[in-house]
């Protein structure tokens, strides 16, 4: 029980950290290269920062869950 709770908390932490990293990377890309991008009513670095945050969080949650909750496949006898 405690082990699963710690895994869930670790997945949430990984998702939040990767969301923040995506936000920073998206803002850097938007400020330098994608100044005409419009998303959610804002443009430029604000828009790409939001997109990067969303994508980073999704990728972090999925990769963290896959890494921490993977099950070992039964090996076939050879």
- Which pTM value belongs to this model? 0.80
Does the residue 52 lie in any domain?
A: yes
Does the residue 75 lie in any domain?
A: no
**Is residue 74 pLDDT above 80, yes or no?**
no
Name the DSSP letter for residue 2: H
Does the residue 45 lie in any domain?
A: yes
**Nearest CA-CA partner of 10 in 68, 70, 72:** 68
Cα separation, 41 vs 32, whole angstroms: 19
Task: Quote the domain boundaries for residue 52.
Answer: 16-65
**Is residue 35 pLDDT above 60, yes or no?**
yes
Does the residue 78 lie in any domain?
A: no
Cα separation, 56 vs 20, whole angstroms: 7
Cα separation, 22 vs 36, whole angstroms: 19
Total count of domains within the chain: 1
């Amino acid at each position: 029980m405690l082990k699963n709770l710690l895994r869930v908390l670790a997945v949430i932490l990984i998702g939040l950290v990767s969301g923040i990293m995506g936000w920073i990377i998206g803002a850097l890309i938007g400020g330098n290269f994608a100044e005409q991008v419009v998303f959610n009513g804002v443009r430029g670095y604000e828009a790409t920062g939001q997109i990067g945050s969303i994508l980073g969080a999704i990728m972090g949650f999925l990769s963290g869950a896959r890494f921490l909750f993977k099950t070992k496949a039964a090996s076939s006898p050879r």
